Structure 1
């Protein structure tokens, strides 16, 4: 019996460490702001990830802590050989010419979601962030991204500064999805 105790303690310590890491990761991504949509819709259509990868420019977002003071925001997605997706989020702090701030992570596809739902990790091996492609253009020129709580929302485009009629149509589509458009913060680009 005394030989079993150290391994039980090691297993318990490992389990506790993993649980603490998961909790910290969940807290780091836990939305603290108000929800802009109490009834987040399911994604409108499947996503062809071969067409989705590449560079996206953030047109607008719901303000959040991890993008505080960010302008000129871009997101780059690249397919990996192991089926995951590399994610590189970049911004300029304080101004479109401010110092760069880059975070790298990875995403995995949620099975059965038509590739429209992903789990994202920027903090190691635990996939705790939800990334839902709620809608996108047939030609993949724009995308609306959210998650289940309704506290995070991004409007992404392939152009840094889309035309005014495109911007207006995207804001109208966000409203049609049930989001409070008064909470949108426009992202500035050069």
Structure 2
């Protein structure tokens, strides 16, 4: 059984900005992408602009990006967002773990097929990574499916 309990507090303004994908479950819409980032920007209407970007196959590969939007459908559960990259089709974006300084996050969905480990920096301490993997494992995710995303070093 998957534990989809989300964080009880989410300060959207602190969450905005760029996050680096440290690890993920592979899926069709990010297939072959490395150096992936997700950038969030709060809109005046309360929704969020989302830009996911990365490089095809190698860190020197073709740069690709997808623009989407996100929203919090229920203010009582701020850690449960909905994200859309395709017209009006929204998918769950559940903030499962988030440190108090908004430096790392564990993101899941409504199914056990989607999982991301995000960081504000392109690299993450092994101890933090291992803690998040263990948390995902405890929640019922098959962490053997995690793909560590190659990232460029910051300039």
TM, length-normalised to structure 1: 0.76
Structure 1 range deviating more: 89-98 or 164-173:
164-173
Query: 1:136 is matched with which residue: 98, 118, 121?
Result: 98
The residue that corresponds to 1:146 in the other structure is: 108
More helix by share: 1
Where in structure 1 do 4 or more consecutive aligned residues deviate above 3 Å? none
Structure with larger Rg: 1
Separation in 2 of the partners of 1:96 and 1:169?
A: 27
Cα distance between partner residues in 1 of 2:76 and 2:107: 14
Structure 2 portions without partners, runs of 5+: none
Aligned to 1:44: 7
**Offset, 1:113:** 4.1
* 1:75-120 deviations in Å (ceiling 9; x for gaps): 0000000110000000100011111110001111121443211111
Are 1:185 and 2:116 counterparts?
no
- Number of residue equivalences: 152
Q: Which residue of 1 aligns with 2:64?
A: 101
* Residues 107 and 127 in structure 1, CA contact (< 8 A), matched pair in contact too: no
Q: Is the 8 A contact 1:61 1:155 kept in 2?
A: yes
Gaps of 5+ in 1: 1-37
RMSD: 1.3
* TM-score of the superposed pair, with normalisation by structure 2: 0.92
Between the aligned partners of 1:55 and 1:75, the Cα distance in structure 2 is: 6
